[in-house]
Amino acid sequence: MSSFHSADSSPNLYDEIQEMGDVSFLIYYLGYIKAASRKAKEENIEFKGMDVGENGMTMKEGVISSSELSKTYTPSEIKTIIADNLEYLQQLFPNEFNGDGLEQTYLSIDELEKGRIKEKVDLSTGKKAVWRPYTIEEFDDTFQDVEPVYSVVKDTYHKRIVLVFRGTEGHLGAASSNWLANLNAVVHNEKPPLAVQEIDDEKIGLHKGYYKYLFDKTADEKDEESRTKFEQIVEDIMLLLKKYPGFRLHVTGHSLGGALATMCSFFLACEESIPTPVTCISFAAPRVGTRSFLNACQYLERTSQLRMLRVMNHQDTVAVIPILNYVHVGFQVRLYKDDTIPDLLYPNLKNDWKKWLQISWDNSIIASLNLGYDHIDYRQRLDQPKTKAFLESLPNIASLYTDKDLVGFELVRLGVRFTPATKF
């Protein structure tokens, strides 16, 4: 049986990148809306479309929550909430809800649902219902000052569950500890998970800051099991993966969120309960591991358990830190501002030394030195004519891994895992 599941694959690389970028972008704006609804309650101002409960909860705090405030959101509902509260949102976040920021938000929402909204009849009631492709099932920012902020999105159109990590966001009170994790670049040596025990490395070198962010105990004092954030995430996504058999897991994020997506997708692919392959598409993601982490990732890639693609802008400083000891993993697509054809790279261990030298220089902190805002304009670069045409000419990630000349290995289609249905 093939390890590649056609239902979770977009027709080309452009579509696959764009959709994950739009989902990631949408989660940022849901964070702004949640913050605004909490602020409105404090100021006794009406905020339409989102109620605030105990501890500032605006959605369920976990997909297993039974709270009366538990609610999921579609992209269209997010757009309606923005329109109904636009003046207040513009007061709180003028840069994000005016001009290009607002235009890009609406564009992302429209693209996620364009041509995919269907009307179906409920056979049990005879009533018509609107079927929408994307539903935000979970958004956990309860302890955003000390823990990762993540969302779980159900994508019915492609039959996938998308785990989204939000990046650094000072406006939402999550700046200090976020960047503390970014800067804590000490290497944490972890024993390889059972799934990658065949690699030669006795330890896997990981970015200590990001590792602790995922594997420290949750800050929730009500958590009697004293779980790590990673364990909480696994529980949340497994509930949906069991509820929707045949769905695949995608992971995405931007900046700090991209780093967490990279590390988390590796450990998720090692979990026996998670259906494989796990696909990670990150944006402006810093490096998260040493050469031993690359070896472990490539073992999972080679055995069809993991797919990884990292999108970065040329001369984006965030995407090339930390410098010493750390390396990139998976495919890399580098976008240019002047509509130059993007670079498509993979850390092929069979590359000759001259090619490795050029790649190392292109990814170096000196070659990429730019402290502007290049790391937030991915949508504009993706939609440049030459860039879009080139990426549309490429197959999706699943097919890229079958190119032996590109990746330097032949896929071993063994051990692919499927999750059985669970009755609810």
- pLDDT tens for 96-121 read 898 887 888 888 888 888 867 666 66
Report the C-alpha dihedral over residues 315, 319, 321, 325, rounded to 10 degrees. -110
pLDDT band at 122 (very low <50, low <70, confident <90, very high): low
CATH number of the domain that 342 lies in? 3.40.50.1820
d(C-alpha 75, C-alpha 81), whole Å: 10
Inside any domain, residue 421: no
| Arithmetic mean of pLDDT, 387-399 | 95
Which residue type occupies 352? D
Contacts of 201 (CB under 8 A, 6+ apart): 192, 292, 295, 296
Q: Is the dihedral of CA 110, 112, 116, 122 positive or negative?
A: negative
The encoded tokens of residue 326 equal: 């750390």
Question: Residue 19 CB: number of other CB atoms within 10 A?
Answer: 24
Q: What is the pLDDT of residues 219-262, one digit of tens each?
A: 776 666 778 999 999 999 999 999 999 999 999 998 889 999 99
Residue 331 has phi, psi (to 5 degrees) of -65, 150
pLDDT band at 57 (very low <50, low <70, confident <90, very high): low
Number of structural domains found in the chain: 1
DSSP 327: B
CB under 8 A, 24+ apart: contacts of 292-295: 292/199, 292/201, 292/203, 292/204, 292/205, 293/204, 293/205, 293/206, 293/266, 293/327, 293/329, 294/327, 294/328, 294/329, 294/347, 295/199, 295/200, 295/201
Nearest residue to 394 via CA among 406, 381, 380: 406
Inside any domain, residue 305: yes
Inside any domain, residue 417: no
The pLDDT value recorded for residue 319 is 53
The encoded tokens of residue 122 equal: 């409920």
Q: Is the pLDDT of residue 366 over 50?
A: no
The pLDDT value recorded for residue 164 is 96
The pLDDT value recorded for residue 351 is 58
pLDDT band at 63 (very low <50, low <70, confident <90, very high): very low
Inside any domain, residue 249: yes
Q: What percent of the chain has pLDDT over 70?
A: 73
Inside any domain, residue 255: yes
Contacts of 295 (CB under 8 A, 6+ apart): 199, 200, 201
| Arithmetic mean of pLDDT, 352-375 | 44
Cα first-last separation, the chain: 29
Which of 24-28, 72-76, 261-265, 416-420 has the least mean pLDDT? 416-420
Q: What is the pLDDT of residues 9-31, one digit of tens each?
A: 568 999 999 999 999 888 888 88
Inside any domain, residue 234: yes
Inside any domain, residue 148: yes
Q: Is the pLDDT of residue 298 over 50?
A: yes
Q: What domain range includes position 123?
A: 6-407
Cis peptide before 94 (omega within 30 of 0): no
The pLDDT value recorded for residue 143 is 76
pLDDT averaged over every residue in the chain: 80
pLDDT band at 145 (very low <50, low <70, confident <90, very high): confident
Q: Is the pLDDT of residue 131 over 70?
A: no
Inside any domain, residue 228: yes
pTM of the complete model: 0.85
pLDDT band at 350 (very low <50, low <70, confident <90, very high): low
The pLDDT value recorded for residue 100 is 80
The pLDDT value recorded for residue 380 is 84
